[in-house]
Amino acid sequence: MDELEMFIEKSLVQSGQKGYIPTTFNTMRGRWGTVEAINRLMVQSDIQSGFKRMQELGLLHLSLEAAVLEFPDRFKRPIREAARFRLDQVQKAA
């Protein structure tokens, strides 16, 4: 398993332990694979409910946005910028 997949698996395990199962992402991941699922979620202008839930659980360091920034070579610039924007918005609000 590659490092991005391991990151995502860790995220799924830890969020599951806190009672959150990201069903939309899991469905998309099964259909298109991890990178494409993340790409599709990042291009949507609305901040995803999963991102908000990860924030509530204190797991933003394991969010899809964090995965994009942790593995920037796997994602195109607009996806990286969307991830950075979302994470920056949370920090500004804190």
Q: Residues 26-58: pLDDT tens digits?
A: 999 999 999 999 999 998 866 678 898 999 999
The average pLDDT across 62-79 equals: 97
The dihedrals phi and psi of 24, each to the nearest 5 degrees, come to -60, -50
What is the phi/psi pair of residue 44, to 5°? -70, 135
Q: What is the pLDDT of residue 3?
A: 97
Tokens of 59: 């797991």
Q: Return the pLDDT at 92.
A: 78
- Split into its structural domains, the chain has a count of 1
Domain that holds residue 46: 3-93
pLDDT in the model for residue 49: 83
The rounded mean pLDDT for the chain is: 93
Can you give the C-alpha Rg of the chain in angstroms? 12
Per-residue pLDDT at 75: 98
**Top-confidence residue, 17 or 43:** 17
pLDDT of 91 reads: 79
Of 20, 24, 26, nearest in space to 8 by CA: 26
